[in-house]
Amino acid sequence: MTNLENYRSSTEYREILRILQKATTLQDNFLWQSHALGKTVIPAQYIEIDFIAREVLVSFSSEHHHIDPELPVYVKLGYRTSVFKVSEYRQGQNTLRFSFPDLIKTQELRFYPRHTFRAAQDKFVTLRSSTYGESGSELKVRAMDISEKGLGLVVSEQNRNFLKNNRILWVTGLQDSNLQNAVLAEVVYINSEVDPKFVIKKQKSLKVGLKVSGAFPEDIYNRFLL
């Protein structure tokens, strides 16, 4: 049975496209439809991406499988067992064509132990834009969790543009400790699935995931966990 705790929602166009691209090289992609008699599972023979039309083309064997045009189609990809729903699609001969999904549920794969903070701990991370080098603007945001290679942050909706314009960032501080050598980080997702305990009243917040390249100083990292 799938552990939904290991899944998160992605609405970021670039991440969705990356997931679709990775899945095209795999064999264990399939479609399914749920109906009164149960579930019809349809293995995908291959998946193609039409970058110009921003559509996905799925090929399957129609000899043994039938798609009910009145029902939505669900797609499960072999890459990170990602899942999404398709409500509008066009059928061809042995094919299904639909627009890039707006949302994908994707498995959160972590190779390093994640430390989740309590809401009362008020842990903060300082980020600097990489666009203008040492003189880049900085943003101090709240941390929900951290691992050696990743950060889960809560960022005000007002700062969405800062993140969209700076997909590559420098982590310059953990709590009150400034990093002598800033650590490079990449924004890998932005969504609205913020844990309620971290939400500030009357403020729209975003959940932001950073992938860290490099290493935090061990002493500063360990103090940040306390």
Give 102-160 pLDDT, tens digit per residue.
Answer: 999 887 665 567 788 987 788 999 999 876 555 568 899 999 999 888 999 999 999 98
Asked whether the whole model's pTM tops 0.85, one would answer no
Measure the CA–CA gap between 30 and 77, rounded to whole angstroms.
7
Task: Provide the pLDDT for residue 186.
Answer: 92
* Cα–Cα distances in angstroms (integers) from residue 183 to residues 125, 126, 128, 215, in the given order: 12, 11, 10, 7
Measure the CA–CA gap between 140 and 94, rounded to whole angstroms.
52
Q: Give 36's strand partners.
A: none
| Statement: residue 44 has pLDDT above 60 | yes
Number of other residues whose CB lies within 10 A of the CB of residue 137? 11
Give the least confident one: 61-65, 91-95, 124-128, 200-204: 61-65
> Mean of the per-residue pLDDT values for the chain?
87
Tell me how far apart the terminal alpha carbons of the chain are, to the nearest angstrom.
Answer: 35
| Statement: residue 13 has pLDDT above 70 | yes
Give 182-216 pLDDT, tens digit per residue.
Answer: 999 999 888 888 888 888 777 889 999 999 988 89
Domains of the chain, each with CATH number or no CATH: 4-107 (2.30.110.10), 115-225 (2.30.110.10)
Q: Contact 154/198 with Cβ under 8 angstroms?
A: yes
